[in-house]
Amino acid sequence: AQSVAQPEDQVNVAEGNPLTVKCTYSVSGNPYLFWYVQYPNRGLQFLLKYITGDNLVKGSYGFEAEFNKSQTSFHLKKPSALVSDSALYFCAVRTINAGNNRKLIWGLGTSLAVNP
């Protein structure tokens, strides 16, 4: 079965420090990988994606993520956290063999708290 795991329910980091939010996946075939962020009472906002090519992808708001095929991971990173980065982060995967359905398989989310 295809799945996405976000092993940490919550991550706490001090403002200005680097942050990492972890994601591992299990799919058949090559994956398309995504990170989304959800602020309170808001919808999900797209941050970045890995489709093919360079394993390090850069996205919105200074975030980046590294695709590691051997470890089946796609960790989200940011060199210097801001208080405004505090939110709920979701990792998602879509398989290339999904046919017409662009369904995303979602992790359960990681709550990031950046402390001033």
Partner 1 sequence: EAQVTQNPRYLITVTGKKLTVTCSQNMNHEYMSWYRQDPGLGLRQIYYSMNVEVTDKGDVPEGYKVSRKEKRNFPLILESPSPNQTSLYFCASSGGYEQYFGPGTRLTVT
Binding to partner 1 by residue 32, rule CB under 8 A? yes
Name the amino acid, one letter, at 1. Answer: A
Q: Does 97 bind partner 1 (CB under 8 A)?
A: no
Residues 71-90 as x/- pattern, contact with partner 1 by CB under 8 A: -------------------x
Give the DSSP per-residue string, 39-72.
Answer: -TTS-EEEEEEE-SS-SEEE-GGG-EEEEETTTT
Q: Which of 66, 75, 106, 111 binds partner 1 (CB under 8 A)?
A: 106
For partner 1, the closer of residues 19 and 93 by Cβ is: 93
d(CA 26, CA 29): 9
Which residues, other chains included, contact 55 with Cβ-Cβ below 8 Å and sequence gap of 6+?
A: 66, 67, 68, 69
42 binds partner 1 (CB under 8 A): yes
46 binds partner 1 (CB under 8 A): yes
State the Cα–Cα distance between residues 66 and 20, nearest whole angstrom: 11
Interacting residues with partner 1 (CB under 8 A): 32, 34, 36, 41-46, 49, 51, 90, 94, 100-104, 106-109
